[in-house]
Structure 1
Amino acid sequence: MRERIIEVATEFIKQYGLRGFTLDDITGELSMSKKTLYKYFASKNELISEIVQRAAEIEKQRVLQEIDRCSTWFEKLNAILYVYSFPGIPFRVVNELQRFFPSEQETIAEIRRFREQIAMTVLEEGIARGDIRDDLDPAIMLLTFTKTVLSPSEDQFLNANDITINQLLEQMKKLLFYGILKR
Protein backbone atom coordinates (compact mmCIF):
# COMPACT_ATOMS: atom_id res chain seq x y z
CA MET A 1 0.00 0.00 0.00
CA ARG A 2 2.92 2.33 0.76
CA GLU A 3 4.11 2.02 -2.85
CA ARG A 4 0.64 2.70 -4.20
CA ILE A 5 0.37 5.87 -2.07
CA ILE A 6 3.69 7.07 -3.48
CA GLU A 7 2.58 6.29 -7.05
CA VAL A 8 -0.68 8.20 -6.66
CA ALA A 9 1.02 11.13 -4.94
CA THR A 10 3.60 11.30 -7.74
CA GLU A 11 0.84 11.45 -10.35
CA PHE A 12 -0.90 14.24 -8.43
CA ILE A 13 2.40 16.11 -8.22
CA LYS A 14 2.84 15.82 -11.99
CA GLN A 15 -0.63 17.22 -12.56
CA TYR A 16 -1.07 19.80 -9.81
CA GLY A 17 2.33 20.46 -8.29
CA LEU A 18 3.43 19.91 -4.72
CA ARG A 19 1.00 22.30 -3.12
CA GLY A 20 -1.89 21.54 -5.46
CA PHE A 21 -2.88 18.18 -4.01
CA THR A 22 -4.01 17.11 -0.57
CA LEU A 23 -3.91 13.93 1.44
CA ASP A 24 -7.70 13.86 0.97
CA ASP A 25 -7.08 13.59 -2.78
CA ILE A 26 -4.93 10.53 -2.18
CA THR A 27 -7.34 8.86 0.22
CA GLY A 28 -10.18 9.52 -2.22
CA GLU A 29 -8.25 8.08 -5.16
CA LEU A 30 -7.26 4.98 -3.18
CA SER A 31 -10.59 4.61 -1.36
CA MET A 32 -8.89 4.53 2.01
CA SER A 33 -9.31 6.39 5.26
CA LYS A 34 -6.90 9.05 6.45
CA LYS A 35 -6.16 6.83 9.41
CA THR A 36 -4.85 4.18 7.04
CA LEU A 37 -2.79 6.75 5.14
CA TYR A 38 -1.29 8.02 8.40
CA LYS A 39 -0.05 4.49 9.16
CA TYR A 40 2.35 4.98 6.26
CA PHE A 41 3.01 8.72 6.29
CA ALA A 42 2.54 11.05 9.26
CA SER A 43 2.13 14.11 7.02
CA LYS A 44 2.12 15.41 3.47
CA ASN A 45 5.65 16.72 4.04
CA GLU A 46 6.84 13.26 5.04
CA LEU A 47 5.29 11.82 1.87
CA ILE A 48 6.93 14.49 -0.29
CA SER A 49 10.25 13.88 1.44
CA GLU A 50 10.03 10.16 0.65
CA ILE A 51 9.26 10.91 -3.01
CA VAL A 52 12.18 13.35 -3.25
CA GLN A 53 14.59 10.89 -1.62
CA ARG A 54 13.54 8.15 -4.00
CA ALA A 55 13.84 10.48 -6.98
CA ALA A 56 17.39 11.35 -5.90
CA GLU A 57 18.42 7.71 -5.70
CA ILE A 58 16.79 6.87 -9.03
CA GLU A 59 18.48 9.90 -10.59
CA LYS A 60 21.91 8.76 -9.42
CA GLN A 61 21.37 5.21 -10.62
CA ARG A 62 20.08 6.28 -14.04
CA VAL A 63 23.02 8.64 -14.59
CA LEU A 64 25.49 5.91 -13.64
CA GLN A 65 23.75 3.36 -15.88
CA GLU A 66 23.78 5.73 -18.84
CA ILE A 67 27.44 6.60 -18.30
CA ASP A 68 28.33 2.89 -18.18
CA ARG A 69 26.81 2.55 -21.68
CA CYS A 70 29.01 5.33 -23.04
CA SER A 71 32.44 4.84 -24.52
CA THR A 72 33.63 8.45 -24.97
CA TRP A 73 33.82 11.45 -22.67
CA PHE A 74 31.46 13.32 -25.03
CA GLU A 75 28.79 10.61 -24.80
CA LYS A 76 29.17 10.62 -21.02
CA LEU A 77 28.73 14.40 -20.88
CA ASN A 78 25.57 14.10 -22.99
CA ALA A 79 24.25 11.44 -20.61
CA ILE A 80 24.88 13.69 -17.61
CA LEU A 81 23.05 16.54 -19.32
CA TYR A 82 20.04 14.59 -20.57
CA VAL A 83 19.18 11.93 -17.99
CA TYR A 84 16.36 12.85 -15.64
CA SER A 85 14.54 10.32 -13.48
CA PHE A 86 11.08 11.75 -13.80
CA PRO A 87 10.84 13.46 -17.18
CA GLY A 88 7.07 13.72 -16.72
CA ILE A 89 7.48 16.00 -13.71
CA PRO A 90 7.62 19.61 -14.90
CA PHE A 91 10.56 21.77 -13.88
CA ARG A 92 8.06 24.07 -12.15
CA VAL A 93 7.71 21.35 -9.53
CA VAL A 94 11.46 21.49 -8.86
CA ASN A 95 11.18 25.27 -8.53
CA GLU A 96 8.21 24.83 -6.18
CA LEU A 97 10.15 22.28 -4.16
CA GLN A 98 13.06 24.68 -3.77
CA ARG A 99 10.80 27.55 -2.84
CA PHE A 100 8.26 25.98 -0.48
CA PHE A 101 9.94 22.86 0.89
CA PRO A 102 13.29 24.05 2.27
CA SER A 103 13.78 20.83 4.21
CA GLU A 104 14.38 19.10 0.85
CA GLN A 105 17.12 21.54 -0.21
CA GLU A 106 19.92 19.21 0.86
CA THR A 107 18.58 16.40 -1.31
CA ILE A 108 18.38 18.72 -4.31
CA ALA A 109 21.90 19.98 -3.59
CA GLU A 110 23.11 16.39 -3.28
CA ILE A 111 21.82 15.52 -6.76
CA ARG A 112 23.44 18.63 -8.19
CA ARG A 113 26.80 17.88 -6.50
CA PHE A 114 26.64 14.29 -7.74
CA ARG A 115 26.15 15.43 -11.35
CA GLU A 116 28.82 18.12 -11.02
CA GLN A 117 31.42 15.66 -9.69
CA ILE A 118 30.82 13.28 -12.56
CA ALA A 119 30.80 16.14 -15.10
CA MET A 120 34.15 17.42 -13.77
CA THR A 121 35.70 13.98 -14.19
CA VAL A 122 34.34 13.78 -17.73
CA LEU A 123 35.62 17.26 -18.64
CA GLU A 124 39.07 16.39 -17.27
CA GLU A 125 38.99 13.23 -19.38
CA GLY A 126 38.23 15.33 -22.47
CA ILE A 127 41.13 17.67 -21.65
CA ALA A 128 43.52 14.76 -21.06
CA ARG A 129 42.57 13.24 -24.43
CA GLY A 130 43.22 16.57 -26.13
CA ASP A 131 39.61 16.99 -27.28
CA ILE A 132 38.86 19.96 -25.02
CA ARG A 133 41.01 23.08 -25.01
CA ASP A 134 43.47 23.00 -22.13
CA ASP A 135 43.63 26.79 -21.87
CA LEU A 136 40.17 26.83 -20.29
CA ASP A 137 39.71 26.10 -16.61
CA PRO A 138 37.52 22.99 -16.16
CA ALA A 139 35.99 24.55 -13.03
CA ILE A 140 34.74 27.47 -15.13
CA MET A 141 33.47 25.08 -17.81
CA LEU A 142 31.59 23.22 -15.09
CA LEU A 143 30.18 26.45 -13.69
CA THR A 144 28.94 27.34 -17.18
CA PHE A 145 27.27 23.94 -17.55
CA THR A 146 25.78 24.14 -14.08
CA LYS A 147 24.35 27.62 -14.55
CA THR A 148 22.88 26.84 -17.95
CA VAL A 149 22.19 23.20 -18.57
CA LEU A 150 22.07 21.55 -15.16
CA SER A 151 19.86 24.13 -13.46
CA PRO A 152 16.07 23.97 -13.73
CA SER A 153 14.41 25.86 -16.55
CA GLU A 154 11.33 27.97 -16.26
CA ASP A 155 8.16 26.46 -17.67
CA GLN A 156 7.05 29.96 -18.64
CA PHE A 157 10.06 30.36 -20.93
CA LEU A 158 9.49 26.95 -22.52
CA ASN A 159 5.79 27.61 -23.05
CA ALA A 160 6.25 31.18 -24.31
CA ASN A 161 8.77 29.99 -26.90
CA ASP A 162 6.91 26.76 -27.72
CA ILE A 163 9.94 24.54 -27.12
CA THR A 164 10.50 21.41 -25.11
CA ILE A 165 13.12 20.92 -22.44
CA ASN A 166 15.05 18.62 -24.78
CA GLN A 167 15.10 21.30 -27.50
CA LEU A 168 16.32 23.83 -24.94
CA LEU A 169 19.08 21.50 -23.73
CA GLU A 170 20.17 20.75 -27.29
CA GLN A 171 20.44 24.46 -28.13
CA MET A 172 22.35 25.16 -24.90
CA LYS A 173 24.74 22.34 -25.70
CA LYS A 174 25.39 23.78 -29.19
CA LEU A 175 26.02 27.20 -27.69
CA LEU A 176 28.45 25.86 -25.14
CA PHE A 177 30.35 23.60 -27.52
CA TYR A 178 30.35 25.65 -30.71
CA GLY A 179 29.59 29.25 -29.70
CA ILE A 180 27.58 31.75 -31.73
CA LEU A 181 30.13 32.58 -34.40
CA LYS A 182 30.04 31.05 -37.89
CA ARG A 183 33.24 29.29 -38.81
Structure 2
Amino acid sequence: MREKIIEKSNELFLNLGFKSVTMDEIASALGVSKKTIYKYFKNKTELVAAVTHHMFDAVSCGINGICDLKMNPIDEIFSIKRFVMDNLKDEKSSPQYQLQKYYPKIYASLKQKQFHVMQGCVIENLKSGIEIDLYRSDIDLEFISRIYFNGMVSIKDKDLFPLNDYSMNTLMNYYLEYHLRGICTEKGIQQLENQLKLK
Protein backbone atom coordinates (compact mmCIF):
# COMPACT_ATOMS: atom_id res chain seq x y z
CA MET A 1 0.00 0.00 0.00
CA ARG A 2 2.84 2.40 0.84
CA GLU A 3 4.17 2.11 -2.72
CA LYS A 4 0.68 2.72 -4.16
CA ILE A 5 0.28 5.88 -2.06
CA ILE A 6 3.70 7.16 -3.21
CA GLU A 7 2.96 6.44 -6.89
CA LYS A 8 -0.49 8.06 -6.90
CA SER A 9 0.78 11.08 -4.91
CA ASN A 10 3.71 11.41 -7.31
CA GLU A 11 1.31 11.56 -10.28
CA LEU A 12 -0.95 14.13 -8.59
CA PHE A 13 1.95 16.30 -7.36
CA LEU A 14 3.53 16.40 -10.85
CA ASN A 15 0.27 17.35 -12.51
CA LEU A 16 -1.14 19.74 -9.93
CA GLY A 17 1.75 20.79 -7.69
CA PHE A 18 2.78 19.94 -4.12
CA LYS A 19 0.82 22.77 -2.54
CA SER A 20 -2.46 22.26 -4.41
CA VAL A 21 -2.99 18.56 -3.71
CA THR A 22 -4.66 17.75 -0.39
CA MET A 23 -4.52 14.50 1.58
CA ASP A 24 -8.28 14.16 0.92
CA GLU A 25 -7.68 14.26 -2.84
CA ILE A 26 -4.95 11.63 -2.60
CA ALA A 27 -7.21 9.38 -0.53
CA SER A 28 -10.07 9.88 -2.97
CA ALA A 29 -7.86 9.13 -6.02
CA LEU A 30 -6.73 5.92 -4.34
CA GLY A 31 -10.23 4.98 -3.20
CA VAL A 32 -9.14 4.69 0.43
CA SER A 33 -9.77 6.68 3.61
CA LYS A 34 -7.43 9.41 4.78
CA LYS A 35 -6.78 7.28 7.86
CA THR A 36 -5.16 4.64 5.62
CA ILE A 37 -2.64 7.20 4.32
CA TYR A 38 -1.89 8.39 7.86
CA LYS A 39 -1.05 4.81 8.80
CA TYR A 40 2.01 5.08 6.52
CA PHE A 41 2.80 8.83 6.63
CA LYS A 42 2.20 10.88 9.72
CA ASN A 43 1.59 14.11 7.75
CA LYS A 44 1.75 15.62 4.27
CA THR A 45 5.35 16.80 4.70
CA GLU A 46 6.47 13.23 5.34
CA LEU A 47 4.58 12.08 2.24
CA VAL A 48 6.12 14.87 0.12
CA ALA A 49 9.61 13.83 1.33
CA ALA A 50 8.94 10.17 0.42
CA VAL A 51 7.57 11.11 -3.01
CA THR A 52 10.44 13.44 -3.90
CA HIS A 53 13.05 10.86 -2.90
CA HIS A 54 11.19 8.17 -4.84
CA MET A 55 11.13 10.50 -7.89
CA PHE A 56 14.81 11.31 -7.45
CA ASP A 57 15.79 7.62 -7.25
CA ALA A 58 13.74 6.71 -10.34
CA VAL A 59 15.21 9.56 -12.41
CA SER A 60 18.79 8.88 -11.18
CA CYS A 61 18.45 5.21 -12.03
CA GLY A 62 17.22 6.05 -15.55
CA ILE A 63 20.03 8.58 -16.09
CA ASN A 64 22.63 6.03 -14.95
CA GLY A 65 21.16 3.56 -17.44
CA ILE A 66 21.59 6.09 -20.26
CA CYS A 67 25.17 6.88 -19.18
CA ASP A 68 25.98 3.13 -19.16
CA LEU A 69 25.15 3.00 -22.89
CA LYS A 70 28.36 5.01 -23.53
CA MET A 71 26.84 6.89 -26.45
CA ASN A 72 28.27 10.00 -28.06
CA PRO A 73 28.36 12.64 -25.24
CA ILE A 74 26.16 15.17 -27.09
CA ASP A 75 23.54 12.53 -27.93
CA GLU A 76 23.75 11.39 -24.30
CA ILE A 77 22.85 14.88 -23.01
CA PHE A 78 19.78 15.04 -25.26
CA SER A 79 18.73 11.46 -24.38
CA ILE A 80 18.87 12.37 -20.69
CA LYS A 81 16.82 15.49 -21.40
CA ARG A 82 14.14 13.44 -23.19
CA PHE A 83 14.07 10.87 -20.38
CA VAL A 84 13.72 13.56 -17.69
CA MET A 85 10.96 15.35 -19.63
CA ASP A 86 9.01 12.07 -20.00
CA ASN A 87 9.32 11.41 -16.28
CA LEU A 88 8.52 14.89 -15.06
CA LYS A 89 5.55 15.40 -17.42
CA ASP A 90 6.98 18.69 -18.73
CA GLU A 91 6.69 20.01 -15.15
CA LYS A 92 3.44 21.86 -15.91
CA SER A 93 2.91 22.62 -12.25
CA SER A 94 6.54 23.60 -11.65
CA PRO A 95 6.97 21.14 -8.74
CA GLN A 96 10.53 22.23 -8.00
CA TYR A 97 9.40 25.83 -7.53
CA GLN A 98 6.58 24.77 -5.17
CA LEU A 99 8.91 22.48 -3.28
CA GLN A 100 11.37 25.33 -2.75
CA LYS A 101 8.61 27.68 -1.60
CA TYR A 102 6.53 25.42 0.64
CA TYR A 103 8.95 22.65 1.66
CA PRO A 104 12.36 24.38 1.80
CA LYS A 105 14.06 21.69 3.93
CA ILE A 106 13.05 18.90 1.56
CA TYR A 107 14.09 21.05 -1.39
CA ALA A 108 17.54 21.77 0.11
CA SER A 109 18.22 18.09 0.81
CA LEU A 110 17.05 17.08 -2.67
CA LYS A 111 19.15 19.77 -4.33
CA GLN A 112 22.23 18.49 -2.49
CA LYS A 113 21.58 14.94 -3.72
CA GLN A 114 20.92 16.16 -7.28
CA PHE A 115 24.18 18.09 -7.26
CA HIS A 116 26.26 15.04 -6.29
CA VAL A 117 24.65 12.79 -8.88
CA MET A 118 24.76 15.39 -11.66
CA GLN A 119 28.30 16.48 -10.88
CA GLY A 120 29.67 12.97 -11.47
CA CYS A 121 27.57 12.43 -14.58
CA VAL A 122 28.46 15.80 -16.15
CA ILE A 123 32.20 15.47 -15.49
CA GLU A 124 32.20 12.01 -17.13
CA ASN A 125 30.31 13.45 -20.09
CA LEU A 126 32.81 16.32 -20.41
CA LYS A 127 35.82 13.99 -20.21
CA SER A 128 34.52 11.66 -22.91
CA GLY A 129 33.61 14.66 -25.11
CA ILE A 130 37.16 16.01 -24.82
CA GLU A 131 38.61 12.56 -25.61
CA ILE A 132 36.79 12.35 -28.94
CA ASP A 133 37.31 16.00 -29.80
CA LEU A 134 33.67 17.11 -29.46
CA TYR A 135 34.47 19.45 -26.55
CA ARG A 136 37.39 21.85 -26.26
CA SER A 137 40.32 20.46 -24.28
CA ASP A 138 40.95 23.73 -22.41
CA ILE A 139 37.69 23.79 -20.43
CA ASP A 140 37.72 23.61 -16.63
CA LEU A 141 35.68 20.49 -15.81
CA GLU A 142 34.81 21.47 -12.25
CA PHE A 143 33.70 24.98 -13.24
CA ILE A 144 31.62 23.85 -16.25
CA SER A 145 29.89 21.09 -14.27
CA ARG A 146 28.90 23.55 -11.52
CA ILE A 147 27.70 26.19 -13.98
CA TYR A 148 25.73 23.50 -15.81
CA PHE A 149 24.00 22.37 -12.60
CA ASN A 150 23.26 25.94 -11.57
CA GLY A 151 21.73 26.73 -14.98
CA MET A 152 19.56 23.61 -14.82
CA VAL A 153 18.22 24.70 -11.43
CA SER A 154 17.70 28.32 -12.56
CA ILE A 155 15.63 27.54 -15.65
CA LYS A 156 13.07 25.92 -13.33
CA ASP A 157 12.56 29.22 -11.49
CA LYS A 158 9.21 30.38 -12.79
CA ASP A 159 9.76 33.96 -11.63
CA LEU A 160 12.69 34.11 -14.04
CA PHE A 161 11.10 31.94 -16.74
CA PRO A 162 7.29 32.02 -16.49
CA LEU A 163 5.71 28.80 -17.76
CA ASN A 164 3.27 30.90 -19.81
CA ASP A 165 6.20 32.20 -21.85
CA TYR A 166 8.30 29.04 -22.09
CA SER A 167 7.48 25.35 -21.89
CA MET A 168 10.00 23.34 -19.87
CA ASN A 169 10.95 21.45 -23.04
CA THR A 170 11.76 24.70 -24.89
CA LEU A 171 13.79 25.97 -21.93
CA MET A 172 15.77 22.73 -21.74
CA ASN A 173 16.52 22.84 -25.47
CA TYR A 174 17.63 26.49 -25.29
CA TYR A 175 19.78 25.77 -22.26
CA LEU A 176 21.47 22.68 -23.72
CA GLU A 177 22.25 24.56 -26.91
CA TYR A 178 23.66 27.49 -24.88
CA HIS A 179 25.78 25.09 -22.76
CA LEU A 180 27.11 23.08 -25.70
CA ARG A 181 27.92 26.02 -27.98
CA GLY A 182 30.17 27.30 -25.20
CA ILE A 183 32.27 24.12 -24.94
CA CYS A 184 32.08 22.41 -28.36
CA THR A 185 34.77 22.15 -31.02
CA GLU A 186 33.82 22.55 -34.71
CA LYS A 187 33.18 18.80 -34.78
CA GLY A 188 30.97 19.08 -31.69
CA ILE A 189 28.96 21.95 -33.19
CA GLN A 190 28.16 19.69 -36.19
CA GLN A 191 26.90 17.01 -33.82
CA LEU A 192 24.86 19.59 -31.90
CA GLU A 193 23.28 20.91 -35.13
CA ASN A 194 22.22 17.34 -35.97
CA GLN A 195 20.57 16.95 -32.56
CA LEU A 196 18.79 20.30 -32.82
CA LYS A 197 17.16 19.15 -36.06
CA LEU A 198 15.61 16.22 -34.13
CA LYS A 199 14.07 18.23 -31.30
What is the TM-score of this pair, normalised by structure 2? Answer: 0.75
Seen in structure 2, the aligned counterparts of structure 1 residues 151 and 79 have a Cα distance that, compared at 3 Å, is: farther
The Cα offsets for residues 51-93 of structure 1, whole Å up to 9 and x where unpaired, read as: 1111111011110111223422222333444432732244621
* Superposition map of 1:20-169 within 5 A: 20-84=20-84, 86-88=87-89, 89-90=91-92, 92-104=94-106, 105-149=108-152, 151-155=154-158, 157-161=161-165, 163-169=166-172
1:10 aligned residue:
10
- Return the alpha-carbon distance in structure 2 between the equivalents of residues 66 and 75 of structure 1: 10
Unaligned runs of at least 5 residues, structure 1: none
Per the TM alignment, residue 118 of structure 1 is displaced from its structure 2 partner at its CA by 1.0
| Partners of 1:155 and 1:148 in 2: CA distance | 13
Alpha-carbon separation, structure 1, partners of 2:53 and 2:110: 7
1:169 deviates by 1.8
Of 29-38 and 104-113, deviating more is 29-38
> 1: distance between equivalents of 2:125 and 2:31?
49
TM-score (norm 1): 0.81
Q: C-alpha separation between the residues in 2 aligned to 1:77 and 1:71?
A: 10
Which consecutive unaligned segments of at least 5 residues does structure 2 have?
183-199
Amino acid at match of 2:134: D
Question: After TM superposition, what 4+ stretches of structure 1 lie above 4 angstroms from structure 2?
Answer: none
2:177 paired residue among 174, 178, 183: 174
Change (3 A) 1:26 1:175: closer
Secondary structure in structure 1 of the residue aligned to 2:51 = helix
Of all paired residues, the percent bearing the same amino acid is 22
Count, aligned residues: 178
Distance change >3 Å, CA 27–CA 73, structure 1 → 2: closer
